[in-house]
Amino acid sequence: MTRDEADELHPWWENNTTIISLILGLPVVGLVAIGVLSLVGINSSDFPYMFSTEFFVTDLSLRLLTLPIGVLLIRAFLKWINTE
């Protein structure tokens, strides 16, 4: 539960920042991890495609394109679960 300015309790799924963080989390974490490994000196071009920079950039761009639909669907689904 989160609190807003009026100190009313709200479920976590009504906080847009939390939902957006959940949707965008994996590609951002993947890109940061590849960046850190590159700074350490590991050659990231030897990684399989599933762990490549292009994969995470593509995933991030697709998530950014579908973000409004994803937020609405997740919030509607979680409200539906909460009402049952």
In a domain, 72, yes or no: yes
**Is this prediction's pTM over 0.75?**
no
Q: How far apart are CA 50 and CA 54, in angstroms?
A: 9
In a domain, 7, yes or no: no
pLDDT tens digits, residue range 22-39? 777 878 888 888 888 888
In a domain, 22, yes or no: yes
SS (H, E, C) the chain: CEECCCCCEECHHHCHHHHHHHHHHHHHHHHHHHHHHHHHCCCHHHCCHHHCHHHHHHHHHHHHHHHHHHHHHHHHHHHHHHHC
In a domain, 5, yes or no: no
* Domain extent at residue 73: 16-83
* The two three-digit tokens of residue 35, written as one number: 């960046």
Asked whether residue 70 carries a pLDDT value surpassing 60, the answer given is: yes
Domain count for the chain: 1
